[in-house]
Amino acid sequence: MDRTFNAVYLKVPEGYVGFIEELPGVSTQAATLEEARSNLNDAVETVLEANHALTLIGTDGDEVIREPISVSTRE
């Protein structure tokens, strides 16, 4: 499933800091913008995989309902 998030990159003296607006704690830093983009993509994939695994562990044996949700945001 493809998902779209908003990546934000800040230019700092050491290079770039990047984070995802919708995913608190998902951030990276790198010397170049290209490296920051790649690192941030890896960080998002890792966090989503870890959250999925934690959900499976936390609901082991329980009846669960999993469904997509769409949310409209105000800008």
- Please name the residues in contact with 28: beta carbons below 8 A apart, sequence gap of 6 or more: 17, 18, 19, 36, 39, 40, 43
Tokens of 25: 């704690």
pTM: 0.79
Q: What is the pLDDT of residue 69?
A: 83
Q: What is the pLDDT of residue 75?
A: 63
- Digit-coded pLDDT (tens) for 9-67: 999 999 999 999 999 999 999 999 999 999 999 999 999 999 889 988 988 878 988 88
Q: What is the pLDDT of residue 31?
A: 98
